Amino acid sequence: MNNFSRLLSYLKPYRARVVMAVGLMVLVTLTALPMPRITQYVIDVALPKKQYHALNYVFLMVVLLYLVRGTISFLLNYTISWLGQRIVFDLRFQSYRHINRLSLAYYDKRQTGKIMARVIDDINVIQYMITGGFVTLITDILTLVVVIPVIFWMDWRLAFISITVVPIYVACYKLFLKRIRRLSEQLREKWDALLGALQEKIAGITVVKAFAREEHETERFMLTVQDNFSLGMQQAKLNRTLGVVATVIRAVGTGLIFWMGTKLVLGEQLQPGELIAFVGYIGYLYDPSVRLVDFNIQAQWAGAAMDRVFETLDTRPEITDAPNAITIRDMKGAVEFRNVTFGYEPDNPVLRNINLKVEPGKVVAIVGPSGAGKTSLVNLIARFYDVTEGAVLIDGVDVRQIRLESIRRQIGYVSQESLLFSVSIRENIAYGNKEATEEQIIQAAKDADLHDFIMSLPDGYDTKIGEDGIKMSVGQKQRLAIARATLTNPRILILDDATSALDSKTEANVQQALERVMKGRTNFVIAHRLSTIVNADQIVVMDRGEIVDIGTHAELVARPGVYKNLYDEQFKSAQEEALSALLG
Amino acid sequence: MRNFFRLLHEVRRYWKVLLLIGVLTLMAAALGLPGPLIVKYLVDHLVNRQPFSIFAVFCALVGVAIASGLVGFALTMSVTYLGQRFKLDMRRKLYGHMQTLSLGYFEKNQTGKLMSNITNDVATLDQLIGGGFVTLVSDLVTLTAVLIIIFTMNWQLALVGMSVFPFYIANYLLHIGKIKSTADDIREERDVMLGDLQEKLAGALVVKSYAKERSEVLQFVGQNRSLLNLNVRQGVLGTRLWTIAEFIGSGLGVALILWFGGRQVMQGNLSPGALVAFVSFITGYLYGPILRLIQLNDQIARTNAALRRIFATLDTEPNIKDRPDAIPLPPIQGAVRYENVWFEYEPGQPVLKGINLDIKPGMMVALVGQSGSGKTTMINLLQRHYDVTEGRITVDGYDLRDVTLLSLRKQVGVVIQETILFNTTIRENIRYGRLEATDEEVEEAARAANIAHVIEGLPRGYDTRIGEEGIKLSGGEKQRLAIARAILSDPRILILDEATSALDSETETLIQEALEHLMQGRTSFVIAHRLSTIVKADLIVVMEKGVIREMGSHQELLQQGGVYAGLYNQQFKVALDAIQTEGAAA
């Protein structure tokens, strides 16, 4: 119930509207009351006494009553739907903003589909509960509060009888409750699993196809769908059984009232019209009772959704601005790693005791076997993750003391995988710098050796990428990502294996451009091809999470070690060729 | 409407369930009718103070309730069954069909939209089938029966009761146009938001590295704000429609009946009980069904969009299909021939222009060239992800288009540029290459790909989960897993598309050994930019703008002094320089 009160707190800013809604609900409930009495009047008074003029009043009364009722319920529905939509809006906004604040570690561990399900589906479920369940609940409670005294006042014996059957229904419901709850949970879980599997297999279709696994996948998918099927059937059965119980109990209640009522009428203790009116009111008694139970089912469902939404909102972003974080306006680009130890999981460090000092404007190459921690190292500079021990400093300030935005705005990062968005090439390049001029965009594309390719497309820079757009090769995507990074004019440029998919010639072109771009910035370059890094001011050799050597190319090849081995390995064939050429 | 008939066609095969539902619906509708009549009987006797068997009335009430409860139970269960069954079959059909579609289709459609096709669109149809069809039958039956009853009871009063119908319908027609167009707007806006959300969540790394969180949130808020406004507008329209409908039906209609019916009672043309029954027939059994019937039309229109999307997917012909007379490709040697192959993704923009290539079984072929020169396309064609525009490709003399896709792809193993692993254990990821492989074979493949020591170093070894709730692997580790997966599938033709780019030279050397061993006796195609990994190839194919520029062994090409020699010198310039200076010094 804790979650519900938390949800209610979202209504606080709209207190006035909530008060208005409750007021309107009271009015709507009250307008429901006169109708059975009017019928009673017609049957008991107007008809036997043949009062024709009374019928005119009745006509006017009914029309007026429904006019008032209609107006009020229109206002009520409008207010409620506004509130519901507004809460959806607020919750979505909050969740999305919060998810954006969470660090990459959050994304690493979750499928995109599941994150989306929270932002979209779960919040929708909550909205249905607010606009549907909550409103009905309150109206029903109000109705019960009003109707019970009314029927007792009309005839306490009949009222007593009609109420006696309600507990039977409640008992039945209690019996079912546990299973209904469990089923709801299972259904939700299976649905999540289905979405997750679907998302993964559609995104990974290349692998499915490459291994000719289409049939296997379809079968597997059908298993999840099958589960959903049988759970859905079970749920329908439970709900329906309860429905049958409700129908029968209601009929028994009504039947008992007629029985008892008939005796009273024949004994002249009750007017026939009163009995009809009474049966009309009974509807107000039984319907809400059944709905209260329905609400409970709905609340189960919404409760699970709320759990997940609030869990997301409560996930503390691991990376946040310190309260006294400063803004570095003009970063010089000095980077220092001071005794840095870091691991994605607490007891599994991927970086150990890293010490590294980089002067502004230098080019640092990082080499080492895969899994050595190269990407982890550069990820710490942009503070995608926080160090476990030690500190990373930019311009002498611990990155945890600098405002995140001011760090990332001044760092250009080109990752291993080039992620582009489904918009035009121009918008993709300008993603990091929306104010860039056309010339700047073209210059960035030229720097990445991509301009000629773009101009060869019919729509040039307006060509759409991705869905409904063109297909780009991995190398082209990488160059686009490089253009995007250079356009922001970063103080620190990080290229994480950004040129791996480029052929040597293109790479050489890009390299030339990059050398120009790198001027006046601090650069971190991860590359496997040694030819791309021999000119670095400093080469950092990493192995198993540690820095094993630092130096220039000339220094490093001069001494035995990991770098020398890498170098020899890669250049062996070239050396052989060259030597044989020299000797030959 | 055409789509709707097609849907009917889809539903036709559940005719048994449909028949059952029809019968149950008739029963349910019939069981609804006695209620007001019982009340009429009761009231008439009470008003006239005539004695009657209250026990009989009680039994009738409860009996009808029990019967209608049971019928309702059976009805709901069969409707649920039909709906769920339909969803199940439809999803199988859609998903199965999507699987047959070629890669191009997936590149052009965002994952989120494809998913929504399978999940939301199908669910929308279910609502139409579960709700719409049953309502149609039951309402038609109820309507006919009630009309007969009330006209026999008192035809003048029946006419009075029905006099408000035109207003009722007019009100509905006045609103529905706006409601529909708002619904379309909402759906459109929602689709845009979903697509965007999916992309931005998947691309979180980019959003974060440009510190664009705030502008993304702003954009999201903008989309949601217009959704909010549209939804509220929809709410207002809907509420107005129903409020007015209630006023016309329950207010005006009942008032008229009480007024006119009251006069009829006073004149002795109608019994008081009949009046009460009349009111409940008109409000409960007449206005509702009529409105729902009109609505059905709207419901069909609303589901039309979903129908259109579903059938559009089902109608997308896989551009790669088995021919009717396709034969399974027998176990192959691995001879591959490209004969004057032309290919274009977009008409008029050829990516490959007249490729001729003859590969003997067991050869290692290296494809070299600038990015965009057509290397990946070459191997995509070999796996038959696309069909050639002109010319043909044969494997062991079989035209790829003459053999079944399954038999071809089973014999062609691939390690692609972007490593895609699934959210399961390491073991299962490797086993994806050959589902029936034993644990030993999986581990052997891991060893061959030089990833075994990494896996065994993990606390849970091969049962370690990767991805969500699992561990994070480095790019090189992921690639080696993908290589292990390909090794396990034991293909006759092996394709390595830039598979080793994320590996450092040392690891690559280790893998290279394993791969060389693996490539023994297999035809292999390697795309790699690092020349050192391809100098050992039997044949190096140098591509440029969709044509083969040079072909030959490393030695031959160097001697030719062409493009390849240029590339080679570029990459090894530093080394050559160093060696020359050393040599000169010596």
Closest chain B residue to A239, measured at CA = B73
DSSP string covering A36-73, please? HHHHHHIIIIIHHHT-HHHHHHHHHHHHHHHHHHHHHH
pLDDT at site B458: 85
Separation in Å, CA of A141 to nearest CA in chain B: 22
The pLDDT-based confidence of B526 (bands split at 50, 70, 90) is confident
**Looking at CA atoms only, how far is residue A4 from chain B in angstroms?**
23
Give me the half-sphere count of Cα atoms (radius 13 Å) on the Cβ side of residue A44: 16
Residue A248 lies in a domain: yes
What per-residue confidence (pLDDT) applies to A540? 92
Crossing angle of helices A272-314 and B34-47, in 10° steps, is: 140
> What's the pLDDT tens digit per position in B224-270?
888 888 888 888 888 888 888 888 888 888 888 888 888 888 888 88
Q: Residue A226: its chain B contacts at CB < 8 A?
A: 88
Q: Which CATH code for domain B2-315?
A: 1.20.1560.10
| B559 touching A (Cβ < 8 Å) | no
Q: Does B417 touch chain A (CB under 8 A)?
A: yes
Q: Which of B104, B201, B572 sits opposite A574 (nearest CB)?
A: B572
- Ordered DSSP codes for B279-338: HHHIIIIIIHHHHHHHHHHHHHHHHHHHHHHHHHHHHS--SS---TT-BPPPSP---EEE
User: pLDDT tens digit string along B478-489?
Assistant: 878 888 888 888
Whether residue A193 lies inside any domain: the answer is yes
A454-463 long-range CB contacts below 8 Å, 24 or more apart? A454/A425, A457/A425, A459/A424, A460/A425, A461/A424, A461/A425, A461/A426, A461/A429, A462/A424, A462/A425, A462/A426, A463/A424, A463/A425
> Rounded mean pLDDT of chain B?
81
Of residues B118, B252, B275, nearest to A198 (C-beta): B118
Instruction: Tell whether B235 is within 8 A of chain A (Cβ).
Output: yes
Contact yes or no for A100 and B474 at CB 8 A: no
**Which of A342-356, B1-15, B463-477, B563-577 is modeled with the greatest confidence?**
A342-356
Q: What residues 98-137 of chain B have any CB closer than 8 A to a CB of chain A?
A: 98-100, 103-104, 106-115, 118-119
Q: pLDDT (tens digit, 9 = 90+) per residue, A202-261?
A: 777 767 776 777 777 778 778 888 888 888 888 888 888 887 888 888 888 888 888 888
**Do the chains contact at B110 and A422, CB–CB below 8 Å?**
yes
Q: Which two tokens stand for residue A24?
A: 């309107």
What pLDDT band is residue A357 in, cutting at 50, 70 and 90?
A: very high
Architecture category of domain B414-490 in CATH: 3-Layer(aba) Sandwich (3.40)
Would an 8 Å CB–CB cutoff place A178 in contact with chain B? no
Q: Does residue A32 belong to any structural domain of this protein?
A: yes
In the prediction, which pLDDT does B586 show? 45
Q: Which CATH number fits domain B332-411+495-503+522-586: 2.60.40.10, 3.30.70.260, 3.40.640.10, 3.40.50.300?
A: 3.40.50.300
Which residues of chain B neighbour A265 with C-beta distances below 8 Å? Answer: 46, 49
Please indicate, yes or no, if residue A202 is contained in any of the structural domains.
yes
- Which has more confidence, B502 or B263? B263
How many helices (H) and strands (E) chain A has is answered by 23, 10
Domain residue spans in chain B? Answer: 2-315, 332-411+495-503+522-586, 414-490
Question: Residue B287: is its pLDDT beyond 80?
Answer: no
Is residue A125 domain-resident? yes
Residue B41 CA to residue B52 CA, distance in Å, equals 10
Q: In what order do the strands lie in the sheet with A538-543?
A: A411-414, A492-496, A522-526, A363-367, A538-543, A546-551
Q: Same CATH fold, B414-490 and B332-411+495-503+522-586?
A: yes
Q: Which residues 43-62 on chain B approach chain A with CB closer than 8 angstroms?
A: 43, 46-47, 49, 51-52, 54-55, 57-58, 61-62
CB atoms A58 and B418 under 8 Å: no
A55, A112, A530 member nearest B202 (Cβ): A112
pLDDT for B99: 77
More confident residue, B537 or B535: B537
Asked if residue A489 has pLDDT above 70, the reply is yes
Residue A328 lies in a domain: no
pLDDT per residue over A237-252, tens digit each? 888 888 788 888 888 8
Model confidence at A99, pLDDT cuts 50, 70, 90, reads confident
Structure tokens that stand for A384 in this block: 């995608």
- Give the pLDDT of residue B585: 47
Question: What pLDDT is recorded for position B391?
Answer: 92
Tell me which chain A residues have a C-beta less than 8 angstroms from the C-beta of B369: 503
Q: Which residues of A touch B263 (CB under 8 A)?
A: 52, 55
Q: Which of A374-388, B66-80, B363-377, B567-581 has the least mean pLDDT?
A: B567-581
The H-or-E segment that residue A329 falls in is: none
Is this prediction's pTM over 0.90? no
A426-485 tens-digit pLDDT: 988 888 787 889 999 998 898 888 898 888 888 889 988 865 566 777 778 888 888 888
| Count of structural domains, chain A | 1
| Residue A237 within any structural domain of the chain | yes
Q: How many angstroms separate the CA of residue B531 from the nearest CA in chain A? A: 9
Contact B370 A506 (CB under 8 A): yes
Q: Closest Cα of chain B to A21: distance in Å?
A: 15
The gap from C-alpha B106 to its chain's centroid, in whole angstroms, comes to: 11
Answer for the pair B507, B450: CB distance below 8 angstroms, yes or no: yes
Judge whether residue B500 has pLDDT over 60: no
Residue A584's pLDDT is 40
User: Least CB-CB distance to B502: which of A215, A497, A575?
Assistant: A497
- Which domain does A181 fall in, by range? 3-314
A195 touches chain B (CB under 8 A): yes
Q: Which residue of B has its CA nearest to A201?
A: B422
Could you give the angle at which helices B213-246 and B165-202 cross, rounded to 10 degrees?
170
In a domain, A52, yes or no: yes
Chain A contact set for B230 (CB, 8 A): none
| pLDDT of B19 | 87
Partner B contacted by A269 (CB < 8 A):
no
B322 inside 8 A of chain A by CB: no
pLDDT exceeds cutoff 80 at B106: no
CATH of residue A290's domain is 1.20.1560.10
Closest chain B residue to the Cα of A192, Cα to Cα: B119
d(CA B125, CA B118) in angstroms, rounded, equals 11
Cα nearest neighbour of A54 on chain B: B259
**Residue A576: is its pLDDT beyond 60?**
no
Contact assignment for B246 to A73 by CB distance below 8 Å = yes
